[in-house]
Amino acid sequence: MPPPHVHHDRTTEHNEGSPTNPVRFLGQDYQNLLQKSLRRNELYTDELFPPNSSSIGTLNKEADLDYTNVIWKRPAVLSPGKPFFTVDGMSRFDYEQGSKLGNCWFLASIGALTSKDKETSFMTKYIINQVIPAGQTFSNNYAGIFHFRFWRFGKWIDVVIDDLLPTNDDKLIFVGSKTSNEFWPALLEKAYAKVCGSYADLDGGFMSEALMDFTGGVHMEFVLNEAPAYLWDIMDRAAKSQTLMGCASYHWETREAVSSNGIVGGVITTVGFVEQVMSEGNPVHLVRVLNPWGNTEWKGDWSDDLDICCLYPDFLDRSSGCHWKSQRNFGQWIAGTTAGGSMDNMETFWKNPQFRVRIEELSEDCTHEEGAENILVSLMQNHEKRNRSSQNNLMIGFYVFKSGKFSAEFFNDKRPVKMKSFQNLREVMGFFWLEPGEYLIVPCTEKPGETASFILSIFLKHETHFDQRFFKEPSLSYLFVI
């Protein structure tokens, strides 16, 4: 039996929650609802995300929206001609941000997903087709119903929506398309709003959150003034492997102020491409970024930090013989038993769930750059509340210790070799180098006695061929070898 309050992610290709068998969000079956609407010759209306103010939610005062003037209309009414789901494919240039919602983090993620530079890539097509199932139109078998898929806290879900969209003066209130008869951006936004509880729940966020929900992949963050010297090489390899990337700027003195170099404070942008060119005999590194607003142009050095999201971080290595392998684990902190808090609470800290990991020597075929990282640890809070804005994140982090025998006394004179400082974010991650050996990873909340669920994902660097073994132990820890 697995240790209590901890279980491994043994999702296979066809298990519920896998990419090919997503969970029906709120129990709604797209095919059944579609066929029911076709038989009745009526357009579908979603009772679980109804066309009224409850689905819009409570917007901030700056939005200045008069709810009494909101009218929900279908694309056939809004479009001057025939509406289309897509026009000439999907592009990051298709959409424009609405004026009532600060969801540039979500739109920048769409931009990374639909970059024209990558549309011929197998991996990009795979991700797009996973999020946006093919074959959806306003012609064949049209019944006013659409569906989209997102990865949420360890499982893929299939989300059903109707195509009634909130308007004011015959204009879409939220995301719109630059082509008046194209509606995939507005419908995708509505599906994500439904998952998060309402449109208002999309106000403010991090690009990494949406990218992970689009891919189910691993997230890496680099703060530029702390980034490794070989960051450009990482970005170059990431771009060549069609990895999704974005960057963000810090808030200036006033929200969304524009700096002298054209960067908008607090806005998240898409990284379109990374390229090295020669200028006057010298190599120049160019990075193209796209602001979802599209109203300002670049005038100088770019961004403050960088987000990268991929299915596996193989691009981090120059050697093709190196591949990263992962293990995803679900666990809980339970008040009174496994919620031990940080190391400031040594009398209870040892009660936290603990994960043993063994790092082996790399083979000669797997090139190692001096100081390059060989382990990535991601800790995500597994929220149970639907409304995103009501999900109060706990302060979470984790410690990494040189391993020893599990006991309360083990931690008395131990100092962690690595740690991730506590932050009140949905997900925190650490990316570092560990010498070969056995280690203990302890995810925890900052304060003891806080009950919550979590997902701990561990990515390790190793050669192509490896053995993976699990050791069952009576304690709250387990060991896996890569």
Decide if pLDDT at 433 tops 60: yes
Distance CA 113, CA 150 (A): 13
Cβ atoms of residues 87 and 182 within 8 Å = yes
Is a pLDDT exceeding 80 seen at residue 476?
Answer: no
Q: Average pLDDT over the chain, rounded to whole?
A: 78
CA distance 107 to 97: 7
Q: CA geometry: angle at 184 spanning 211 and 426, to 5°?
A: 25
> Cα separation of 388 and 401, whole Å?
34
CA distance 470 to 289: 43
Q: How many residues make up the chain in this entry?
A: 482
Nearest Cα neighbor of 157 from 62, 355, 293, 22 is 22
Task: Choose among 264, 215, 223: nearest CA to 244.
Answer: 215
Hey, which residues are catalytic here?
104, 291
Task: Decide: 69 and 56 in contact? Cβ < 8 Å.
Answer: no
From residue 95, alpha-carbon distances to 48, 89, 100, 478 in Å are: 26, 12, 15, 47
171-175, 194-198, 337-341, 418-422: least confident range: 171-175
Does residue 226 have a pLDDT over 90? no
Burial class from Cβ neighbours inside 10 Å (0-12, 13-18, 19+) for residue 405 reads: exposed
115-145 burial by CB neighbour count: b if 16+ within 10 A, else e?
beebeeeeebeebbebbbeeebebeeebbbb
**DSSP code per residue over 158-182:** EEEEE--EEEETTEESS-EESSTTB
Encode 233-272 in three state secondary structure. Answer: HHHHHHHHCCCEEEEECCCCCCCCCECCCCCECCCEEEEE
What is the pLDDT averaged over residues 121-128? 72
- Which of the residue ranges 113-127, 152-166, 205-219 would you say has the lowest mean pLDDT? 113-127
| Rounded Cα–Cα distance for residues 245 and 226 (Å) | 18
> Which of 408, 423, 407 lies closest to 348, judged by CA?
408
Contact residues for 142 (Cβ-Cβ < 8 A; gap 6+) = none
Confidence of residue 145 (pLDDT cuts 50, 70, 90): very high
Q: What is the DSSP letter of 434?
A: -
Distance between CA 346 and CA 130 in Å, rounded? 45
Give the tens place of pLDDT for each residue, 10-66.
455 568 888 889 999 999 999 999 999 999 999 999 999 999 999 999 887 777 788
Quote the tokens at residue 261. Answer: 């170099």
- Is the per-residue pLDDT at 428 higher than 60? yes
Of residues 155 and 207, more confidently modeled? 155
Residue 253 in tokens: 């003195």
The domains of the chain are located at 14-214, 217-310, 320-481
Query: Has residue 335 got a pLDDT over 90?
Result: yes
Helix axes 184-196, 104-113, angle to 10 degrees: 130
Quick check: 267 pLDDT over 70?
A: no
Alpha-carbon torsion angle 459, 462, 464, 466, nearest 10: -90
Greater confidence, 290 or 179?
179
Residue 482 has pLDDT above 90, yes or no: no
Task: Tokens for 453, please give them.
Answer: 């669920």
Q: What pLDDT score does 151 carry?
A: 93
- What's the N-to-C CA distance of the chain in angstroms? 21
Pick 435 or 262 by higher pLDDT.
435
CATH code, residues 217-310: 3.90.70.10
State yes or no: pLDDT of 77 exceeds 90: yes
Q: Under a CB-based contact definition with an 8 Å cutoff, are residues 301 and 293 in contact?
A: no
**pTM exceeds 0.85, yes or no:** no
The CATH number given to 320-481 is: 2.60.120.380
Number of H helices, E strands in the chain: 9, 24
161-219 residue pLDDT tens: 999 999 988 888 888 777 788 899 899 999 999 999 999 998 878 888 888 898 888 78
Q: Are 454 and 381 in contact (CB under 8 A)?
A: yes
Confidence of residue 477 (pLDDT cuts 50, 70, 90): very low
Mapped to the 3 state alphabet, what secondary structure does 326-386 carry?
Answer: EEEEEEEECCCCCCCCCCCCHHHHCCCCCEEEEECCCCCCCCCCCCCCCEEEEEEECCCCC
Q: Which residues of 408-423 are buried (b: 16+ CB within 10 A; e: fewer)?
A: eeebeeeebebbbebe
Percent of the chain past pLDDT 70, that is, above it, reads 70
Residues 356 and 8: their CA atoms lie apart, in Å, by 13
